[in-house]
Structure 1
């Protein structure tokens, strides 16, 4: 029999909990994945094509556009090319921008679940709340990229095909080219804010399914339904609560002085949808069994 000293006690190493992933590192990774996808760039290129088509159609037309015909500001394009971006924004807001936002927002959680990578993200450990915040931040970044794409492509097409000079505002005042660019960027900011509520709705829907196409379709359908209801006079009482109600109310940014009333009302409305969509997403996702 061996002496007691020959059998030293066995030391069991202590297991330490993995350190949480940095939220900034997680966001950087999410943005790299989002903007590294061919689909994302295809969506942005499709948006960029809208102002290019508008500019080409006006340039090649043999008849000048009569005031009041076609989308707002279309008749001003031949006078100042910077109005290409404004007209393209008006055309894109009802359908094309919500469509692209619906694709990205609907894919946030459902896409990861469908690919089988959601449980690995949660094991990083990212944390469910942190993951939701990062996913929404990435969707919001795409909102900004989408609107800036329309504005930039419109400005570029306007500079190439039409004269650029002082712009006459809706109030009758004239501003120089530099301030015209600032007004265009303000409109892009307004539209970006307008789409943040839809992104939150898409995120919430995405937590209810593992099929990203279903979440995308539901988000897009809701954006169309909101705009349809906003045009029904029988639903006047509901209009101020619809997330699409202020989408096209950026004309005051083309007046002198600028009226910020609709910008503020729109921001408050979208903030309400962000909170509501975030609460629904939090309630569903934190109690969801992640099996894939």
Structure 2
């Protein structure tokens, strides 16, 4: 029995004009389970978990060979501090995956959310159930946001375990030069992971909107990833400096300000506001498109 048929089973469509909260929770749970069981999703999470391991092993090999992890300011932030404290691998791994790996993974999941159902021929069956298009779209977006959080936490947890195995742990130095305890460092690492997950909200909304425009999951995923790469290229062109503060990726690395003492909140707040703006604009566009779209598959 398909997922759509499972949801329809036991749902008195003729009698239930509006879905109950329990039914809505069942739909969300079904979406989460289905998304996380896909081999593509598992492969993406596996790649994300492997990045911190590769970074940690590379730094360990280089320092064993008498080299230095400091590359004259090149590379992800905090990389020169990993050998002194393995907790810095968490910050480095998040900085390394945020520009491409994390948003690419989110773009793939978001782009497939609606278009994948249409391509598989299951979308119209889901709409027969008493969910309504708006509720189904919100469920899809919630699932993508849950993936954003899960993917970010997997990177952070993999980096923390790798850092603990390869490097010493203890008190750490902030960017401002003050020393904080390991427990406070863990707290800031969690805040940084949450900030990184929040930075992906705009990409999730953009991908969901693109997913409503086509019936091909592959086309939606490719378009979302292509837009992601294009925006990041434009964000590096000096001549576009007047537009760059409005690109969803512009303030992504502002999470590093959480490692200052005191914390600098300006860019962090700008990033959260920008992500909320993208979520509102593209979420509304996705709703407008999906609620008026002729579903034939």
TM-score (norm 1): 0.92
Match in the other structure for 1:204? 209
Cα drift, residue 131 of structure 1: 0.5
Q: Which residue of 2 aligns with 1:169?
A: 174
Is structure 2 residue 69 aligned with structure 1 residue 65? yes
* Cα drift, residue 17 of structure 1: 4.8
Structure 1 unaligned spans of 5+: 1-14
Q: Give deviations 1:99-158, integer Å, cap 9, x for gaps.
A: 101110000000000111101110112100000100000000000011111111001000
Whether 2:54 is the aligned partner of 1:75: answer no
Report what 2:149 is aligned to: 144
How many Å apart are 1:19 and its aligned residue?
4.6
**What TM-score do the two structures reach when normalised by structure 2?**
0.91
The residue that corresponds to 1:260 in the other structure is 265
Cα deviations across residues 1-21 of structure 1 (Å, max 9, x unaligned)? xxxxxxxxxxxxxx6455525
**Please, which of 163, 175, 193 is the counterpart of residue 158 of structure 1?**
163
Bigger shift: residues 152-161 or 262-271: 262-271
CA distance in 2, matches of 1:28, 1:37: 15
CA distance in 2 between partners of 1:209 and 1:277 (Å): 15
Please say which structure displays the higher CA radius of gyration: 1
Which range is displaced more, 133-142 or 177-186? 177-186
Higher mean Cα deviation, 224-233 or 191-200?
Answer: 224-233
**Residues 85-104 of structure 1 aligned to structure 2 (within 5 Å):** 85-104=90-109
The separation in 1 between residues aligned to 2:74 and 2:268, in whole angstroms, is 27
Q: After TM superposition, give the deviation of residue 65 of structure 1 in Å.
A: 1.7
Please say if residues 18 and 131 of structure 2, whose CA atoms lie closer than 8 Å, have aligned partners that are also in contact. Answer: no
Indicate the residue corresponding to 1:45 in structure 2.
46
Secondary structure, aligned partner of 1:107: helix
C-alpha distance in 2 between matches for 1:228 and 1:27: 35
Q: In structure 1, what is the equivalent of residue 19 of structure 2? A: 20
1:68 Cα shift? Answer: 2.1
**Residue in structure 2 matched with residue 84 of structure 1 by the alignment:** 89
Looking at secondary structure, tell me which structure has more helix per residue: 2
Q: What is the CA–CA distance in structure 1 between the aligned matches of 2:180 and 2:27, rounded to whole Å?
A: 43
Match of 1:249 in 2: 254
Equivalence for 2:242: 237
Deviation at 1:23, TM superposition (A): 2.1
1-side partners of 2:39 and 2:15: how far apart? 39
User: How many residues in Structure 1 have an aligned counterpart in Structure 2?
Assistant: 278
